[in-house]
Structure 1
Amino acid sequence: MKQILVALAAAVVFFSCKSNADNAAAIESAKKATIDSMNNVSAIKQQVVDSMNALKSNRSHSRENVAGTQYNNETAPAVANTEAPAPAPAKKKGWKSWSHTAKGAVVGAGAGAVTGAIVNKDRLKGAAIGTLIGAGVGAGTGAIVDHKKKQSTQQ
């Protein structure tokens, strides 16, 4: 019986080693594709920066022409003394950008997982059930808070 188990274990090891060689080539090609993709994104970002700098220099050149009343046929200003648009308000980042529904679901899932693992003898099953119930209750509570905030801002 031991010999069969040893032979079976050896066969599994040999087959798994064989597939790792195939996987290594696939992993390397995926790495190369990722690096190429990142380089392409960097090149596109640089093109955008260059085009924005070119527009900025054209705009400053046009304003100099307006101020000095020297006009070229090529760089005639479209509108004189235009103001730049107001900057958009900064977006919240991280936890603050989440809705109350999402926050409630995450907090409820964590609390439910801990509670379920403590209460149930089968820790894994209890944690899974507690996570689902806690996420549902937390999301429901967060949705109620979101609804109340939306009503208060409309009034």
Structure 2
Amino acid sequence: MKNIVMILATVGVLSLSSCKNTDKQGVIVDDAKQATIDSMKQVAEKQRIIDSMQMVNANAQKEKEVVVVHDQAPAAATPQRKKWSGAAKGAVIGAGVGAVTGAVVSKKKAEGAIIGGLAGAAVGAGTGAVIDDKKK
């Protein structure tokens, strides 16, 4: 019985190997196709590895990039400085001009500077207030 099973197994193997397609020269076509498929698989695997390395490099470049967000509100808005009014500017300018003029004109330089400064400040403040009213 063992001999019959061995014979049948041998015949089965021989019949399967004889079913392969051959071309005119007797070369087995399936082996050539399989070799081509295997080489294509190797090339595809190499390309997959190259692509994955390029992805890793691209991710590393993205991590190095600095992202600036412009849509956020500033943390603490600095308040604008108040501008001088026309009256204040006029008072300061008038005081300076009046003090210089009073010191030059008067025989007593200190008294002349004080009186000229006060008079100039009063006239300058009045003039600045008039200009402020016209601007409004």
TM-score by length of 1: 0.37
Normalised by the length of structure 2, the TM-score is 0.42
Q: Structure with the greater relative contact order (CA < 8 A, sep ≥ 6): 1 or 2?
A: 2
Q: If you compute each CA radius of gyration, which structure gives the higher value, 1 or 2?
A: 2
Say which structure is richer in helix. 1
